[in-house]
Amino acid sequence: MKRDLGLDATAASELMATQSAATATENSLRAALGESFGGAYFDAATRKLVVGVTDASKLATVTATGATAKIVAHSAAQLDSTVAQLNAREASAPSTVTGWYADTVTNEIVVTALPGTAEAAKAFAGYNVRVKEEAAPQMFLKGGDAYYIGGSRCSVGFTVRGGYVTAGHCETETGSAQPNNGTWAGSSFPGNDYAWVRTSGVTLEPRVGNVTVRGSSSAATGAQVCKAGSTTGYTCGTVGAKNQTVRYSQGTVTGLTATNVRCAGGDSGGGFITPAGQGQGVVSGGNTATCYFQPLGEILSRYGLSLLTG
C-alpha cells in the first residue's frame, strides 16, 4: 500500500485542485442525474471523475462536465436501499459477518466476513452480493498518550468552537471517566461513532497534523486522504467505499467511510483530512487493511458545532 505519494509541490497542488473539482462535479451530477445517478469515484490513474448512470440517454450529461461516464446496473439510490434493508436485519446476521456496503467502483453490494465464512454471509445477505473475507474490525482504543479517559487513550479529531470532535466509543467504552483535557459534551455509539469534548483553558488550533483545516467538503471515492493519530502519526491513502455498515464486537455502526490508510490502537477519534485541508471525519476502527472514519459533516450537524478553520 503506497502511503507517500512522492509528489512535488506543483504536482501536489494540481492534484488537490483536480480532486476538489471532482467533488464539486459529483455533487452537481448527483442532482442533475436524479434517479439515474449510479455513484461516482475519482480514478487516480486518469485523474478523472468516473460517474455511473443507469440511463444511457444521460451519458452526455456526464461527459459534458469532463467526467467519464459508464453504464451501470444499479442506481446509487438502489444500492443505498439495499444497505438500509441489511441494516434493518442486522440483528439476524451471523457473528461471522463483519459489515456491508455499496461499492461505487464495482456497482455492487459487498458483505465483509471472517475468513472461510463466505457461504454463511451469502445465506444472510443473498447470493447476488460479493463477499470479501478479511480479519475482524477492532476499535482503536488502548492505554497511552494523546488524551486520556481513565487508563485509555484516544486522539483529537478536529477542533471546533469550544472544544474538539472525536470518536463516540472513546466515551461509551471507557466507563464514566472524563477526558483529561475537558468534559464530554455529547457522544453516540453504537449506531454512530462520534462525540465532542468541551474544553476550557486550552488553545485550539485549526490543524490536523501540519495541515490547516479549510472546510469540510466530502472527497470523492478514490481521492487522496490522510489521517493524524496519536499512535501511527500522519499516514495517507485513498478514500474507499462510503456508507459502510461495520459490526464491531462492541456494537454496529452505519454510515462509515473506508480507507486504506494505516491506523492502530489509540488512533481512535483522529482526524481524516485531504491535502487541500478539507476535513473528512474521525477514526472509528478497522483492521490491518482498512481504516474506517465517521464522516465529519454528520458530527457537526448533530451538535450544531462550528469547525475551526484557518
Residues belonging to the active site: 169, 193, 268
Strand segments (E) across 105-200: 108-113, 130-133, 138-139, 147-149, 152-154, 158-160, 163-166, 183-188, 194-198
Give residue 7's Cα distance to chain centre: 24
Q: What angle do CA 287, 193, 177 make, to 5 degrees?
A: 100
What is the rounded distance in angstroms from the CA atom of residue 135 to the CA atom of residue 286?
9
| Backbone dihedral region for residue 243 (phi beyond 0: left; psi -120 to 50: alpha; all else: beta) | left
The DSSP bridge partners found for residue 195 are 166, 187
CB contact set of 220 (below 8 Å; sequence gap of 6+): 19, 22, 23, 26, 40, 41, 42, 49, 239
Residue 287, class by beta-carbon neighbours within 10 Å (0-12 exposed, 13-18 middle, 19+ buried)?
Answer: middle
Which is nearest to 100 in space by CA: 304, 292, 271, 234?
Answer: 292
What is the rounded distance in angstroms from the CA atom of residue 24 to the CA atom of residue 26?
5
Which is nearest to 34 in space by CA: 79, 76, 72?
Answer: 76
Q: What is the DSSP letter of 138?
A: E
Q: Which residue has the cell 465483509?
A: 112
Residue 32, class by beta-carbon neighbours within 10 Å (0-12 exposed, 13-18 middle, 19+ buried)?
Answer: middle
What is the rounded distance in angstroms from the CA atom of residue 3 to the CA atom of residue 149?
30
